[in-house]
Amino acid sequence: MSLAGKTALVTGGARGIGLGIAQRLAADGAQIALVDLNADQLTEAASGFTGTKVITIAADVTDRQQVIDAIDQTAAQLGGFDIMVNNAGIAQVQPIAQITDVEMDRVFAVNVKGVLWGIQAAAARFKKDGTRGKIISAASIAAHEGFPMLGAYCSTKFAVRALTQVAAKEFAGDGITVNAYCPGVVGTDMWTEIDARFAKLTGAEIGATFDKFVGSIALGRAQTPQDVASLVSYLAGPDSDYMTGQSILIDGGMVYH
Ligand SMILES: NC(=O)C1=CN([C@@H]2O[C@H](COP(=O)(O)OP(=O)(O)OC[C@H]3O[C@@H](n4cnc5c(N)ncnc54)[C@H](O)[C@@H]3O)[C@@H](O)[C@H]2O)C=CC1
Ligand SMILES: CC(=O)C(C)=O
């Protein structure tokens, strides 16, 4: 997929799935803005790119103004803005009975409000510039099915599906498409954290929860950021121009809808 002449902003781009997506879009020819909370990891991530222009922006997606500023900075420094990837997200592991007010607010602030601010700010900028832009957000298998101990997290990802459908309908007239990707079990730092939380809460061995989830994948292996990035590459390019409002499962065969 050629994305030559396009500029993509990827939140949570300093590591994991976000970095994998940024590397793939760069290989497709796009200029990249990596946005993340973690400034040190951003610098390290950016040093791995060659052959395309990459900028880094330290920002917190829970802060609406910081998201708007990150898009403005991207357009100013890279000379355009065409693709918004709302990838930043955090995990939360707790049985329903023990989810606290503070934890629910924390996970909604990043996974839902962070995506909403990204959709809002990107659509506003695309409309201002007359760009037929692409907005692509991170959902999950947890946006299609509830998993025990992941109640707060699953509810955020169901919310991303809802925002994706509504935004797709509201911005279709402006030529803007809005879609989401739904990975399964990707071996990133997030899953190390989820596995450790399950171990603490249930007494499972470290690694056992990850292995159990991977054991339910029809294709027989954990997912890589590159597996996810190939779908995002499609959603970012012209081949997906007739697709909008979709939250697409790419999980090696775990959840079937
Ligand atoms: N790892 C997995 O198996 C799956 C992950 N996902 C989703 O994919 C996305 C990426 O996940 P991973 O790469 O695994 O996570 P990760 O934890 O490895 O990386 C997330 C990145 O987001 C950044 N981030 C967190 N909060 C932020 C904030 N408020 N503002 C800016 N940046 C922030 C972190 O600093 C980190 O660099 C998340 O939305 C996650 O929910 C979906 C399905 C499966
Ligand atoms: C991390 C994630 O999205 C899961 C467990 O579905």
Q: How far is CA 3 from CA 47, 93, 236, in A?
A: 21, 37, 8
Residues 2-14, mean pLDDT to the nearest whole number = 98
Q: Are residues 204 and 138 in the same domain?
A: no
- Say if residue 234 is in the same domain as residue 208: no
| Predicted pLDDT at 257 | 83
Look at the pTM and tell me if it is higher than 0.90. yes
Cα 83 from Cα 30, distance rounded (Å)? 9
**Taking a C-beta distance cutoff of 8 angstroms, is the pair 186, 16 a contact?**
yes
| Residue 24, phi then psi, degrees to nearest 5 | -70, -45
In a domain, 161, yes or no: yes
Residue to mutate, 160, 188, 194, ligand 2, most ligand atoms under 8 Å from C-beta: 194
Residue 149 lies in a domain: yes
185 labelled ligand-binding: yes
Residue 18 assigned ligand-binding role: no
Identify which ligand lies nearest to the alpha carbon of 247: 1
Beta strands in 113-159 (DSSP E): 134-138
In a domain, 245, yes or no: yes
CB 13 near ligand 1, within 6 Å: no
170 and 48 part of one domain: yes
Domain that holds residue 93: 7-184+224-249
Evaluate whether residue 152 is within a structural domain. Answer: yes
For 217-233, the pLDDT digits (tens) are 999 999 999 999 999 99
Neighbours of 196 (CB within 10 A): 16
Burial class (CB in 10 A: 0-12, 13-18, 19+), 20: buried
Whether 129 and 56 share a structural domain: yes
**Which atom from ligand 2 is nearest to the alpha carbon of 140?**
3
User: Does a structural domain hold residue 197?
Assistant: yes
- Regarding whether 216 and 99 lie in a shared domain, the answer is no
Q: 158 with 87, same domain?
A: yes
Q: How far does residue 130's CA lie from ligand 1's centre (Å)? A: 30
What is the domain-level CATH number for residue 91? 3.40.50.720
Residue 257 in domain: no
What is the model's pLDDT at position 106?
98
Q: Are residues 176 and 197 both part of a single domain?
A: no
Q: What is the pLDDT of residue 1?
A: 67
pLDDT tens column, 86-134: 999 999 999 999 999 999 999 999 999 999 999 999 999 999 999 999 9
ipTM: 0.99
What one-letter code names the amino acid at 11? T
Q: Is 255 annotated as a binding residue?
A: no
Please tell me the total count of domains within the chain.
Answer: 2
The token pair at 242 is 């007739």
* Amino acid, single-letter form, for residue 163: L
